[in-house]
Amino acid sequence: DIQMTQSPSSLSTSVGDRVTITCRASQNISRYLNWYQQKPGRAPNLLIYAASSLQTGVPSRFSGSGSGTDFTLTISSLQPEDFATYYCQQSYSTPTFGQGTKVEIK
Amino acid sequence: EVQLVQSGAEVKKPGESLKISCKGSGYSFISYWIGWVRQMPGKGLEWMGIIYPGDSDTRYSPSFQGQVTISADKSISTAYLQWSSLKASDNAMYYCARHVTWGIGWYFDLWGRGTLVTVSS
């Protein structure tokens, strides 16, 4: 299996801050990397697919970048509704997820 | 409305069998892969496997191969996840998700609300 490692595991931040979450794959996955947001008690929600493509309906403050083994999810100006857990997921081979990054209110 | 509707929460005893469902509506059910994702209490997401309802082509994660069975009935736009003998370690929330093919991979653009499975003696 391809291992996905996210950092940090959690972060405390404030509304309006710029937030960056990184995801590293254990081998080259090209651009087969997706990002999801999950709020407590809710199903995950697709934010970014193919490393940098914004899913329809997702606010433009979310963006993704990277290729190969290193990827980034950026939230340009954190909003109250963005406090959640974020997961990266590769689909280059049998899909696997990162362990998640919990974004909390400072 | 495009949606996946999952069956309700289940409480079972170890050793019992179980089949949970995921019904798609508002789109061509046979044209997309449907998969299952496990989330154990307080933990992350684990991909279990998928099925293409159009021809019932099924693929499993090695971690779940032999532990569960994925099936579908395209006549009623429903996918299933079943266990023949539940264990306490099967306690989890199970999500179905529509898989969209991109290149050689997928992304999961539509999710059900989840089915909570509780296994307890």
Residues B41-65 have pLDDT tens digits of 999 999 999 999 999 999 999 999 9
The predicted structure's pLDDT at residue B104 = 87
Mutation target among B38, B40, B61, B108 for the A interface, most CBs of A within 10 A: B108
pLDDT digits (tens, 9 = 90+) for B81-93: 999 999 999 999 9
Percent of chain B past pLDDT 90, that is, above it, reads: 97
Q: Average of pLDDT values for B114-120?
A: 98
All residues at 6 or more sequence positions from B86 whose CB lies less than 8 Å from its CB, including other chains: B12, B13, B14, B15, B16, B17, B18, B117, B119
Q: Do B44 and A43 touch (CB under 8 A)?
A: no
Share of chain A above pLDDT 90, in %: 98
Cβ atoms < 10 Å from Cβ of A93 = 13
Q: Is the pLDDT of residue A106 over 90?
A: no
How far, in Å, CA of B96 to CA of B91, rounded? 16
> Which residue from B46, B62, B95 is facing A43, i.e. has the nearest CB?
B95
